[in-house]
Structures are given as C-alpha cells and as structure tokens.
Amino acid sequence: EAGVAQSPRYKIIEKRQSVAFWCNPISGHATLYWYQQILGQGPKLLIQFQNNGVVDDSQLPKDRFSAERLKGVDSTLKIQPAKLEDSAVYLCASSPRTGGGETQYFGPGTRLLVL
C-alpha cells in the first residue's frame, strides 16, 4: 500500500512570496489533515477535510493560508504572502474515517524556509 505522498520536499522562498504544497493521501482514505510543525514542537492541526468538505479549520490563518481538496482526493495548501514565522515542516496525513482514535498516516512533510 502506497503511503501519503507530498511534494515538494523542500522549499526556500522570500517573505511576501507565495508557495503551494501538494498532498496525495492513501487511496480510499476519506479524511485528510494538514499540520504545521515548527522546529522543536509537535504538529499543530491547520485544517481537516472529510472527503472534499472542511471539518475543522479553526487554527488556519485564513488571511494568508488556504487549502482545498479536489474531488475528495488530492489536496493543496497555499500560503500567500509568506511570513518569516511560517518557516516549518508542513505535514499531510490521512485516515480511513474521521473521529476520535482514528490512526493517522503521515507523509514525509515539506520543509519550508522563509527568508
């Protein structure tokens, strides 16, 4: 079974530029998550999709971050414009269903450095 795929793996941009990350979840997984992991901290949920609908985006900085999940499969997370404090690893995860206790399967992440 193929795992969660993410691209690019690394990205360096200057502040105020825009950037986009792509995620392909495990086939058949209905729920997709985007997390932000700042160095030395645990992952923080940015947005959760159930199929192509948003379940939770309460911690997504909506003035600069946006995300979509096309046809309930792939997802894209965008930052525009980027700030220095957005430097982090952006992790995508998927699970078969939503709900407490569901095992989440993580991709390798995209490392973003904002200069």
Q: Is 82 exposed, middle or buried (0-12, 13-18, 19+ CB in 10 A)?
A: buried
CB of 81 to another protein, least distance (A): 27
Instruction: List residues near another protein by CB under 8 A.
Output: 4, 40-45, 48, 50, 55-56, 91, 93, 98-101, 103-109, 111
Nearer to another protein, 74 or 81 (CB): 74
Q: Which tokens sit at 109?
A: 């992440």
Is the separation of the CB atoms in 7 and 112 below 8 Å? no
CB of 87 to another protein, least distance (A): 15
Is the separation of the CB atoms in 9 and 20 below 8 Å? no
CB of 89 to another protein, least distance (A): 9
Nearer to another protein, 46 or 82 (CB): 46
